Amino acid sequence: MRFGSFLELPTPNGTTTTQAYERTFAHADMAEALGLDTICLAEFHFTPNRVISSPLMMGAAIAGRTKRIKVASSVLVLPLANPLRVAEETATLDNISGGRFEFGVGRSGFQVAYDGYGVPYTESRDRFSEALEVILKAWTNERFSHHGEYYTYDDVCLVPKPIQKPHPIIRIAATSTDTFPANGRMGYPLLVGLRTVPLAQVTEQVETYKAAYEAAGHPAAMDVSLRVPVYIAETKEAAIHEPEESFMRQTARLKAQLTGPTSELSAADAKVRAERLKSLESITWDDVRREKVIVGTPEMVIEQLKELQEALHVTEVVAEFNAGEQIPPERIDRSLRLFCEKVIPAFR
């Protein structure tokens, strides 16, 4: 199993933008030194407490100061950008990193970025599919043309091409039930989370992905990445109580985001949002700790990961070491060190 760190670049408690970048670079350096496999970078727009509107630029900076660790987008919101420009920039990052780039993509469940960019959220699904089609054409053809509903290109040549052949790993974030078997049929690696969906539901969704993947006869082994908040301490008491305020803050924020306007959502997306909100309405720390986060001593965390590995067919765990943005830097470093030195060896 592979292991990564998921970064949102928060600016809590008066942290400046520069400090957020410096902490991110220090975290990436430490992750590489401790043997972590991947740094995964989120994408946020118009969100004052997160300064990662340009994850590919941040990824290039991390790639330039590291030698081994992979750099992943987690995820790029494809409907917001010109896909040909995305193809250029991701191919450039793949070359800069020496083939260490992983292309995680999605369409995001929240519409604040769409509102800011003036892109109707109701178009997000179709824009996502067409954008991914354009990027694949650009990466794998010397020259290509495309005439679609949203994007048109005539006889263009992408420069540079990705260093990885035929292209970097494409990992698709899935939360809507219908997207799991669709991704399985197409054979794309999967990114899942537990923040707004009950574990039992995610388990069922991944099973539909697995069934579709196997029915399609893809030659490669199935690849499922789980993003989940992680907190590790030397004692059970510290591990359970120290992250509570921060992790519950993340849950409260998710509930607030899910109560936003639904006028720009399709009926299907509005229904999904309502279901997620209902699952979070009366959630407690015990509920969160039981199935939405991984907290404990290294031994406890190993057991929780083994259970999730079996239930969700997990091949990669991407840890959120600062979910809720209230974990002090020294405790983030401690969690990372214990994760790498005490937990990961149990899965190698």
Confidence (pLDDT) at 265:
67
Confidence (pLDDT) at 236:
97
Q: How many CA atoms lie within 13 A of 302 on its CB side?
A: 13
Confidence (pLDDT) at 262:
60
Tokens of 80: 């917001």
For residues 75 and 122, give the distance between their C-alpha atoms in angstroms, rounded to a whole number.
19
pLDDT digit string, tens, across residues 208-260? 999 999 999 999 999 999 999 999 999 999 999 999 999 999 988 888 877 86
Closest CA to 232 of 124, 107, 346, 155: 346
Would you state the CATH architecture of domain 2-347? Alpha-Beta Barrel (3.20)
The average confidence (pLDDT) of the chain is: 94
Tokens of 348: 């190698």
The amino acid sitting at 125 is: R
Q: What is the pTM of this model?
A: 0.93
**Extents of the domains making up the chain:** 2-347
- Residue 311: is it exposed, middle or buried by C-beta count within 10 angstroms (0-12/13-18/19+)? middle
Tokens of 287: 């509920």
Q: Is the pLDDT of residue 181 over 80?
A: yes
pLDDT digit string, tens, across residues 182-218? 999 999 999 999 988 889 999 999 999 999 999 999 9
